[in-house]
Amino acid sequence: MSELEIFYMVVGIAVGVISIITGFAAAIRWLVKHYLQELKPNGGSSLKDQINRLEARVENSETWGKETYRRTEKLEEQIDDLYAKLIRHLDK
């Protein structure tokens, strides 16, 4: 083999290796873009968006329930206080 043939062979191998690496990089880039696209909000039609809405509703319901319970307890205390005052007033 002549030096020119060896040079062509080395260049051919280098071009092949670079092509393979570029192909893998392009494939990985496409996969990452494709799968990351699923994580972006898209108007609410994805499963992730629907789950996020449901979680927000549950948290809102829990907060509303706790607030309602607190207000009910406060009203019951006020009613008990008024009832005690009424009893004291009627005893006089």
> Is 20 in the same domain as 1?
yes
pLDDT of residue 3: 92
Tokens 């008990």 sit on residue: 80
One-letter amino acid identity for 46? S
- pTM (whole model) above 0.85: no
d(Cα 21, Cα 30) in Å, to the nearest integer? Answer: 14
> Is 49 in the same domain as 91?
yes
Domain extent at residue 63: 43-92
Query: What is the per-residue pLDDT across 26-63, written as a single tens digit (0 to 9) for each?
Result: 999 998 888 777 666 666 677 888 888 889 888 888 88
Contacts of 58 (CB under 8 A, 6+ apart): none
**Phi, psi (degrees; rounded to nearest 5) at 41:** -65, 135
> Is 47 in the same domain as 86?
yes
Number of CB atoms found within 10 A of residue 46's CB? 15
